[in-house]
Each structure stands twice: as C-alpha cells, then as structure tokens.
Amino acid sequence: MILENKTAIVTGAASGLGRGIALKLAEEGANIVIADIDEEGGNTTLEAIRALGREAIVVIGDVSDPEYHVEIINRTKEAYGRLDIAVNNAGISHNFAPTAEIPLATWDRVIRINLSGVFYGVRVQIPAMLETGGGVIVNMSSIAGAVGFPGLSPYTAAKHGVVGLTKNIAVDYGTQGIRANAVGPGFIKTELIDYVPAEQRATLEDVHAMRRLGEVEEVAELVLFLASPRSTFITGAYYPVDGGMLAR
Ligand SMILES: NC(=O)c1ccc[n+]([C@@H]2O[C@H](COP(=O)([O-])OP(=O)(O)OC[C@H]3O[C@@H](n4cnc5c(N)ncnc54)[C@H](O)[C@@H]3O)[C@@H](O)[C@H]2O)c1
C-alpha cells in the first residue's frame, strides 16, 4: 500500500468526491480525518472506512471558520501524531445567474467557503506538515478553475482563486518538502450538480469530449496519484479530469 503510515485530512468527506477520495486514500493505507459540516454523512464515511479495516476520525465544522481548521489539526495530531496529506475538497455551488444579477450574499458565501475555506485550511496544514519534514496538498478546483461557465461567476472566481493559491503554496514551500497541486473535475455524478438548471442538465454530458459525466472514482484516482510518492516532481500544477471538456 502506497500510503501506509500516512495521515490525510479530507474536507467535504461526508459526500460525493470527498467520500470517494477518503475511501481511496484509506484503501492505500492512510489514516483519514473526515472533515465536514454534515455529521450523518461523515459517520457514514467513517463506517465505510472502518469496513475496509482502516482508521479514521470525524471532525465536524464549517470550513469557512478559521478556528475549525485549528481544531482539525489538533484532533489529527492527537489521533495520529502527524499530518502528511491534506485534500481541501469541501465546496458548494449556487443558483445560476448572469454576473450582474448575482446576489451579494451568494458571492460572499461562495468565496468564503470555496476560496477562503481553502486558505484557512492550508495556513494551519502547512506548519503541521513542516513539523515532520513536509507533506502534500491537493486542492479541489474545477474546470471552472480554467474557464468560465454561464451563470457561475462566484464559483468560477473562487475556483480560479484556488488554482492561484495552489501555485503560490508550491512557490513558497517548494524547497521545504511541501507539494501542492489543484484538480479540475468536469461534471461528476454527485449531489453538487443538482444545482445545474433542468434545461442545462440535458446538455451536461455533451460538454465533455467523451459525451458522458465523470465518476467519483475517476477523480479519486488522480487525487491518489498526486497525494502519493508517485508524483514527487509534480507541484504547482492544475490537473483537469474532465473527459476532454477543456479540449473542446
Ligand atoms: N461534482 C462536480 O461535478 C464537481 C466538478 C468540479 C468540482 N467539484 C468540486 O468538488 C468538491 C466536492 O463536490 P461534490 O461534487 O463532491 O459535492 P457534494 O455536495 O456531494 O459534497 C460536498 C461536501 O462538502 C461539504 N461542505 C459543504 N460546505 C461545507 C462547509 N462550509 N464546511 C464543511 N463542509 C462543507 C458538504 O457537506 C458535502 O459533504 C467541491 O469543491 C466542488 O466544487 C465538483
């Protein structure tokens, strides 16, 4: 197992991509810290990890609260003594509207959770990783981290921001054993795409060169690769996993 004796925080691990990633890293031997606002979903992920014969804990809270991330780190060290991998995946979508019609509250909420929530995480994850010689960060962006999508200004701005933040972490800590990369999924079969309006849902598959939606497993495989020692010279990069959407 490629992540034996490693400890990984996965935010948003109570559902969708986060749950799939948590299970994938656990299968490869990592202890998992499930961080999510949804307690019931978090416990379901915990049970699934225990069923694999692996270790995990659940820490409930809101990623847009900086103090929550301090608690996650404290609980991680308490349980496992170290932090090797952080997957900052928790995120939300929002009702679609042209840029000038986006309510201020929507903009603030999406930026707070999808962008500031990642910064609040890495600012405490990095020092924890440095204590044991380094670590790996994988931040969840989106194809909206590379291109715009009609009606999605706040989400697109936040996901581009995640890519920029990721590059800067790589630049700041490249000589200190910390790697950071961003992942950009196309449309993946999770609850998040329930936000796509009905009239656009029919064409959702067609935006991908492969003319289908992605599976959680297909994103989790990329995150595993980036989190593992198979990618030791890869940092500061943005990896689409989008069925060829950006190629169209
Ligand atoms: N599904 C897609 O098509 C897709 C595509 C590109 C990027 N993404 C990104 O992938 C990530 C995961 O999305 P998903 O598709 O699995 O969605 P999801 O809704 O299934 O899962 C998101 C998880 O994040 C948690 N969460 C939301 N707000 C939170 C908060 N404030 N604090 C703590 N936890 C919070 C939710 O409880 C949930 O468990 C998101 O960042 C999303 O933007 C998804």
Each domain of the chain, given as residue ranges in start order, spans: 7-241
Mean pLDDT of 187-197: 89
By the 10 Å C-beta count (0-12 exposed, 13-18 middle, 19+ buried), 65 is classed as middle
CATH topology for the 7-241 domain? Rossmann fold (3.40.50)
Tell me which of 23, 24, 33, 37 to substitute to probe ligand 1's pocket, judged by most ligand atoms within 8 Å of the beta carbon: 37
Q: Is the pLDDT of residue 201 over 80?
A: no
User: Is the beta carbon of 165 within 6 A of some atom in ligand 1?
Assistant: no
Active site residue 155: yes
Mean pLDDT of 176-196: 94
- From the list 188, 240, 243, the residue with the least C-alpha distance to 211 is 243
Residues 2/230, Cβ–Cβ less than 8 Å:
yes
Mean pLDDT of 180-190: 97
For 64-110, what is each residue's pLDDT tens digit? Answer: 999 999 999 999 999 999 999 999 999 999 999 999 999 999 999 99
User: Is the beta carbon of 243 within 6 A of some atom in ligand 1?
Assistant: no
Active-site pick, 68, 80, 155, 173: 155
For 5-49, what is each residue's pLDDT tens digit? Answer: 999 999 999 999 999 999 999 999 999 999 999 999 999 999 999
Six token digits for residue 227: 């989190």
Six token digits for residue 195: 């936000």
